[in-house]
Structure 1
Amino acid sequence: MIMQPPYDVTEGLSSSQVEERVRKGLINGEQEIKTKSFKEIFLANILTPFNLLNVCLAVLILLVRSPKNALFMGVIFSNALIGTVQEIRAKKLIDKLSLIAAPKATVIRDGAVKEIPVAELVKDDLTKLRPGGQICADSVVLCSECEVNESLITGESDPVLKRTGDRLMSGSFVVSGDCLAMIEHVGADNYAAQITKQAKYFKRPSSEIMDGINRFIRIIARLIVPIGIALFLRQYCGTGNSLRDSVVSTVAALVGMIPEGLVLLTSVVLAVSVIRLARKNALVQELYSIEMLARVDVLCLDKTGTITEGSMQADRIVPAAGYTAEQMKKKIGLLMGALPDENPTAMALREFCPELTSEADIKIPFSSARKWSGVHIPGCGSLVVGASEFVLRELPEALQEESRKASAAGQRVLLLAESREAFAGQQLPPDLVPVGLILLSDRLRPSARKTLDYFARQGVTIKVISGDNPLTVSQIAKRAGLVDAENYVDASTLADEAAVKAAALRYTVFGRVTPEQKLWLVQAIKSEGHTVAMTGDGVNDVMALKESDCSIAMASGSDAARNVSQIVLLDSDFASMPSIVAEGRRSINNLQRSASLFLVKTIFSTIIGVLFIFLSQKYPLEPIQFTLISSATIGMPSFFLALEPNAERISGHFFINVIKKALPGALTNVVNVLMVIGIADHYSFTSAEISTLAVLLIGFTGLLYLFKICVPFSWSRMAIFILSCAAFTISVLFFRNWFSLVPLTWHLMRAAIPLAAISAGVLAGLMLFVEKAMKGLR
């Protein structure tokens, strides 16, 4: 039944009717954007258990009037600042993306044609739709007809004819024809918004780094309170320390146990990657997606927008007997010069025959119902182009053979025919004869082959998932150089979810895939232990994008796809993917290497904290000394090392790799402290001398470990190592009072030198032992 509008179609809504609908909330409004508010961003980066724990420790230090030992809070503030700035920057970039490509809509109100913002559309508004325009809200065609591309909604790229009474879905585009349509749904009631709701569930980010760090922090969090209480009681009651010294010692042990620098380094490295990727026109909406993209081993692509440009090209023409190529091109020019069609096929034909002339007195635009278009030129007759089976009942044998070959190759075949007679209304003229075949195909992106080759070399399996004909998609993928592209399946033949999942790993190309089937495919591939990335641009991709480990959307696509995706390609060019993957690998490999520097301190501090619960000696270190060691031997070098180029493939598990590298250094530092405590009585060291000797040995071990990390040396790594050595040495010699150190007397150095030699031997032996032990476990 055709809907009746509450107005004359020449007048549209009146101002009072618009105001009434606005009062009732029947207004399109701003579409929801998946970004936090500034307040939410601020609170999320400040009010974390990690930060609150450090604030409590800093308060304890300030209460006992030792403010310099609260310097570790600088790292906490830096971490919160970097996280906040990065999220705000990402929010601003995301918010700049238009939710709908057409920012204004053409409406008829009070009898006048107006252009208004999409957000101001109200229910029952009368809109004028033209070729190239996007449908901004679900509507119903009131009069005339048009052809609509619904690929962003359904995945099907073929235009759909819409006549009076037919419904138009928001997010689709008018390909040809003009019509008047009445808005049926606004805001959250739109079809696209309803689809998006299905992807609004919370999905925990997939990240080995985040999981590893959080797992380690959870372990430390369970230990830190009992260790802190026991250590304080031991220091205050068992060693005779003052309250101030007991608090400072306990906080030093607890601060050392917290890997605050590791969290900061992770934020810095990923934030730098976000900035670098922004320069490559890639917007990162979720930090840890960089890691997941670097780990991806299966990449699911849509055909349009990734392999192809979304446009057509005329490959060649095949003249029928009695016609030449030049004659055929001239007739195509006559036809396309007169037709108003703006669809991809028409644009490809105009590009193929640029010498266009317009002399027609009858013009019949293309219709997906007729499958043909045509013109009548006085004195020349009629020209028709369209699908051969709809234009002529039977083709000559030679053209039939060419048509079969072209179809098998995935090309689109059009027939050009002519007649001396005119059209009878919208009917084909009689006595049509074939002029020749026009063979078209989707235009490949120039970078498609190079991009696919890159992923093939990297061992990433490509799956092409499309709503189009599987044979066509297969041939396009083959032209682009996709390995095993001829291994395709028509998803419409897969009866249920079980059949789709069984086909997931068996086939390379999937055609006629529904949105739900895309979701099933991603789930099936993930269930086999693969890390899956998904690219998409339409509402039909939303559920699969949300389910994937790393989702990538094109900025030119639907707002729903952009909203749920972790990475948005701002230039909608898939060619930037190799550089994005390379950036991810650089970040994660370097972070993995540098993270071991931080965990050396954390593991060592935890072990020493437990040991000093049972030892009668005073805890030998202060928080400010941990700040010196962390800054000179861990924080500064790890930051610069993490920014180096590194395109190696990621292997192994983050947590295991880091622990393996950190254990030798941590255990060596435990030995260092025990050696210092063991010889303290023999040398009659004071508490300050014990503390200074412990700092020297721990710093020396840290620099040795840094040396091992920097091998093989480059000029940049040499500079980093020398700078770290200089920073530590200068601090010990010239800023000793600030770091609670004593002068380096001969009395102190005659113990430090042999202990340093022993420390180097212990570190080398433990590195060899741990490496062999880990190999045995594997």
Structure 2
Amino acid sequence: MKVHGKKTGAGGALREPTPERGLEESDVALRKAMGLVNVAVDAQSRTVKAIIHDNVFTFFNLIFVVLAVLVALVGSYRSLTFMPIVVLNTLIGIVQEVRSKRTLEKLTMLSAPTARVLRGGREQTLRAEELVLDDVVIFTAGNQICADGVVLEGEAQVNEALLTGEADEIAKGPGDQLMSGSFIVSGVCKARLVAVGADSYISRLTLEAKKSKGVGQSKMILALNRLIKAVGLIIIPIGVILFLHQWLLVGNTVEESVVGMVAALIGMIPEGLYLLASVALVISVMRLARSKVLVHEMNCIEMLARVDVLCVDKTGTITEPEMRVEGAVPLSDEGDILPLLGDFAAAQASDNITMEAVKAYFTQGQGRRPLGVTSFSAACKYSSATFEEGCYVLGAPEFVLRERFGEYQALIQSHAARGARVLVFAQYAGRADGRALTAGVRPLCLVLLRNPIRKAAAQTFGYFAQQGVQVKVISGDNPVTVSQVAMQAHIDGAENYVDASTLQTEEALCKAATRYTVFGRVTPAQKRALVRALKSAGHTVAMTGDGVNDVLALKDADCSIAMASGSDAAAQAAQLVLLDNDFARMPLVVDEGRRVVNNIERSASLFLVKNIFSFLMSFFSIVLMCTYPVGPAQISLISAFTIGAPAFLLALEPNKRRIKGTFLRNVIERAFPAGITDFILVSILMLVGRWMGIPDEMISTAATILMSVVGLLIICYIGRPMNLWRWAIVAAMVAGIALSATYFHWLFDMSRLSLHCTVLLLILCALALPVMLGLGRATQTMVDFSFRMARQFLRRCKGLGARRRKEEGR
């Protein structure tokens, strides 16, 4: 705790650590006892208790319990057949979510952010949640800052864009503050943690963000939530009206009125729809987890299904993450410069794979001690070391040579054309401070590096080409080099490249985003701008990356994927993490996204068929002063074999079709024809049946069979083209209905049909398919018109709002 700005413990003031030793074990134990631990406020998963609570205590479960009590009170126990289905749905939801929680917790432990900390003079690697107040942490390039701190020693370039929105790199030295949630771009520093856990800056932001509803939730789930809330609001008044209508106006008994009202409401409630979507997403997360893919945000699974542009970095994605130096090409006759390169490399920190490769190759130095060092800057694309005899820089030729680049362009391009990454080593006449170079340079040599192409790269990018997904290669390297590497990986349009350093305006960048395939010399801010430009052009964009220069673009992409071997910052910013660093997993990930969304859309249509019929039939019964035609037990039979079971079975099969249109529109277009077909045919059955004098119990049984036939037809309709698995599902459902109606007729209130009723039923069954197909074409036209009018209305509302704000601004 803090008292007047001074930390105190049970025995007095807490001892502050030294940069050399950090905290002692006794200091750590005292802080843990006081609760001064860096425990995250945003738990990655809910507790088992919370999962059970959220699955049991739902609005619709409450309605089902109330309906069950009403049915029991009037003694119609046979009508309680809907309750076992409700209980089963709830249990399935709990079991699947608990299994998913346990699987994800194991994977999250493996990929949890870690930190290098000094304790008792020894360096240790601990999980970020094990750090305590005043711990001395060593931060290097790629590390995400896990708690607020103050720099004790060293210097680092820090990016705070995820917190402030400003993409500029900020130099941090002794005494400067480090904010949690930012990340180290380059350099090395030691920092003492001054705020941990809920007191840290990122925790306060997280708690504030939690006040916003729907953040990070799947659009599909949000659409279902809106649909279910709308249903929840209207079924209660409809239920009251139905009961009073049948009891007071139609003249039914209290028992008959309650049973009719319950049957109508059960038909209106999409009791398994939200569960189906939730369980399908949970199963999808588990399937990805078994393939070594960690899902940070559930909504990215849906976005994966809609991706039509994939942005990738060269290093670590197209190529293996390991880099090696091929050699050095002298540019001057001043003698052996390898010892100088060796001293330069020894002075640098191993804070990126390029410098690791340089340090591993240039090992012979003369022991020069640097007066100052600047780590690699992604914005200015060089690193530097200053010795007594001068300042030396190593970086991208265009940024180091600047106006002298033309002198060496042909030589550089010749190496780049072979796929080599080219850096220039030069003496700098000015003082290098991590900002853009302005003084003159004397080129000494070219350093050639190379990354091997991933073995499965060509096959992986071939898959995306077949699926209609464009691939954009965005890299900080020379565009010629990147283009050559992309061509070796068989990326379509890889010969179409541009140097992003020539794209100085936002307009030029936006035009280039859709025109070119390969982008070289891209700064982190430009990566982000390219992702935004592609999204503005109407694309759904996925971004892969593993470095700190990818973080901003990862945050802005519709779906972000990081390699576990990359920087901490990239892994924490991404929605998906490839734990085995294998980009060849991407087709599996995209297929999984398409499978889950396609199947949920298809299965959701089955649930809405019953709801549409029940709403229309309720109003029809009220207007014609007649009893609702089917009972709760019969609705349960229809739901079990034409909705529940086939929906779950269909949701599990492979489905790689690319997603088109919005979730709600796709569902409505499929469900409306069958729902209205049910309503028309059952209405005809009721009217003609009464005219022919057919008893109500026979009409009720015939209506159940008729709705079952339409239900089986819609399974075939949405399952086109039918395959062996789908025909097997239909056959199993037919058998289930037949067995239930024959051997459990007493349970589902099924009676024998007279000859007249059977003939009428057969005629209506024969009409079902042509009526549904005709309504399908009409529905598509109607939905197109409705959505077009809705879009125009929203555009007008936005225009009026913009004009009003403009007038208020005056």
Query: What TM-score do the two structures reach when normalised by structure 2?
Result: 0.73
Give 3-state SS (helix, strand or coil) of 1:629's partner. Answer: helix
Partner of 1:751: 757
Residue 44 (structure 1) aligned with residue 50 (structure 2): no
Residue 659 (str. 1) matches residue 663 (str. 2):
no
Q: Name 2:253's counterpart in structure 1.
A: 242
The reply to whether residue 278 of structure 1 matches residue 289 of structure 2 is yes
SS at match of 1:412: strand
Q: Secondary structure at the match of 2:284?
A: helix
In 1, distance between residues paired with 2:764 and 2:92?
Answer: 40
Within a 5 Å distance, the mapping from 1:509-528 to structure 2 comes to 509=519, 513-514=523-524, 525-528=534-537
Partners of 1:8 and 1:698 lie apart in 2 by 78
Which of 461, 465, 469 does residue 460 from structure 1 map onto?
469
Distance 1:507 1:80, change over 3 A: farther
In the other structure, the counterpart of 1:294 is 305
Please list, as runs of the form range in 1=range in 2, the aligned pairs for 1:371-770 lying within 5 A after superposition.
402-403=411-412, 405-406=414-415, 411-413=421-423, 437-442=446-451, 444-463=453-472, 468=476, 471=479, 475=483, 478-479=486-487, 480=489, 481=491, 483=493, 486-490=497-501, 493-494=504-505, 509=519, 513-514=523-524, 525-535=534-544, 545=554, 548-556=557-565, 566-681=575-690, 684-743=693-752, 748-770=754-776
Relative to structure 1, the CA distance from residue 501 to residue 84 in structure 2 (aligned partners, 3 Å threshold; closer, same or farther) is farther
Q: Which moved more, 1:253-262 or 1:338-347?
A: 338-347
> 1:260 aligns to what SS in structure 2?
coil
Q: Is the 8 A contact 2:142 2:568 kept in 1?
A: no
Residues 404, 208 of structure 1: alpha-carbon distance in 2 compared, 3 angstrom cutoff: closer
1:487 counterpart SS class: strand
Residue in 1 aligned with 2:83?
Answer: 73
2:83 partner amino acid: M
Q: Is the 8 A contact 2:302 2:593 kept in 1?
A: yes
User: Which residue number in structure 1 is paired with residue 12 of structure 2?
Assistant: none
- Hey, what's the Cα distance between the residues in 2 that align with 1:724 and 1:560? 50
Larger Cα-atom Rg: 1
State the secondary structure of the residue aligned to 1:619.
coil
- Preserved contact between residue 112 and residue 127 of structure 2 (Cα < 8 Å): no
Structure 2: distance between partners of 1:681 and 1:775: 35
3-state SS of paired residue (1:71): helix
SS of alignment partner, residue 737 of structure 1: coil
Residue 736 of structure 1, CA deviation: 0.5
Distance 1:152 1:74, change over 3 A: farther
- Paired residues of 1:206 and 1:292 also in contact (CA < 8 A): no
- SS, match of residue 500 in structure 2: strand
Q: Please state how far the C-alpha of 1:217 moved relative to its aligned partner.
A: 3.6
Report how far residue 60 of structure 1 moved: 1.9
Q: Contact 2:346–2:359 at 8 Å: present in 1 too?
A: no
Q: What is the identity, as a one-letter code, of the residue corresponding to 2:448?
A: L
Unaligned runs of 5+ in 2: 1-14, 376-381, 428-441, 785-810
> 1-side partners of 2:768 and 2:531: how far apart?
49
Return 5+ residue gaps in structure 1 as ranges: 376-383, 418-432
- Inter-partner Cα distance in structure 2 for 1:219 and 1:434: 70
Which of 1 and 2 has higher RCO (CA within 8 Å, sep 6+)? Answer: 1
What CA RMSD, in Å, does the superposition of the two structures yield over aligned residues?
Answer: 5.3
Aligned to 1:428: none
* Partner SS for 2:323: strand
In 1, Cα distance between equivalents of 2:21 and 2:216: 51
Query: 1:209 and 1:388 mapped to 2: Cα distance?
Result: 45
CA contact 2:674–2:711 (8 Å) conserved in 1? yes
Cα shift at 1:250: 0.9
Specify the code of the residue in structure 1 equivalent to 2:75. R
Q: CA deviation at 1:613?
A: 1.0
- Alpha-carbon deviation of 1:26? 5.6
Report how many residues are paired.
734
Per-residue Cα deviation, 1:357-405 (whole angstroms, up to 9, x for no partner): x887847699547968999xxxxxxxx996799999xx9x998853464
Picking from 204, 211, 227, the partner of 2:238 is 227
- Larger CA deviation: 145-154 vs 117-126: 145-154
What CA deviation, in whole Å up to 9, does each residue of 1:138-187 have, x standing for no partner?
666656x688898999999xx9999877877878689998x865455544
1:261 alignment partner in structure 2: 272
Tell me the distance in 2 between the aligned counterparts of 1:117 and 1:141.
20
In the alignment, structure 1 residue 252 sits paired with structure 2 residue 263: yes
Say which of 766, 771, 777 aligns to 1:771.
Answer: 777
Where does 1:325-340 land on structure 2 (aligned, <5 Å)? none
Contact 2:39 2:198 in 1 (8 A): no
Larger deviation: 557-566 or 602-611?
A: 557-566
Cα 1:318–1:149, aligned 2, differ >3 Å: closer, same or farther?
A: farther
Distance 1:478 1:250 in 2: 65
Shift, 1:767, TM fit: 1.0
Distance in 2 between the 1:672 and 1:477 partners?
Answer: 63
The one-letter amino acid of 1:48's match is T
Change in Cα spacing, 1:385 to 1:512, as seen in structure 2 (3 Å) is closer
Instruction: Give me the whole-angstrom Cα distance separating, in 2, the residues matched to 1:452 and 1:66.
Output: 62
Deviation for aligned residue 1:459: 3.0
> What are the equivalent positions in structure 2 for 1:23-62 lying under 5 Å apart?
27-30=37-40, 32-62=42-72
Q: Distance in 2 between matches of 1:679 and 1:764?
A: 20
Instruction: Tell me if the contact between 1:30 and 1:187 (Cα under 8 Å) persists in the aligned partners.
Output: yes
> Contact 2:310–2:469 at 8 Å: present in 1 too?
yes
Give 1:112-191 correspondences, 5 Å limit: 118-119=128-129, 121-126=131-136, 182-183=192-193, 186-187=196-197
CA 1:14–1:663 in 2, change beyond 3 Å: closer, same or farther? Answer: closer
Write the letter of the residue equivalent to 1:253: A
Residue 411 and residue 253 in structure 1: after superposition, are their counterparts in 2 closer, same or farther (change >3 A)? same
1:76-134, Cα deviation, whole Å (9 max, x unpaired): 3344334444444444455442598674644243x677776654544544457899999
Is the CA contact (8 Å cut-off) linking 1:153 and 1:538 kept in structure 2? no
Deviates more, 1:279-288 or 1:501-510: 501-510
Contact 1:104 1:115 in 2 (8 A): yes
Q: Which residue of 2 aligns with 1:312?
A: 323
Give the letter for the 2:769 counterpart.
L
Using the TM superposition, give the Cα deviation of residue 340 of structure 1 relative to its aligned residue in structure 2, in angstroms: 10
> Is residue 543–residue 559 contact of structure 2 (8 Å, CA) maintained in 1?
yes
Distance 2:356 2:749 in 1: 77
Q: Which residue in the other structure is 1:429 paired with?
A: none
Q: In 2, Cα distance between the equivalents of 1:51 and 1:535?
A: 42
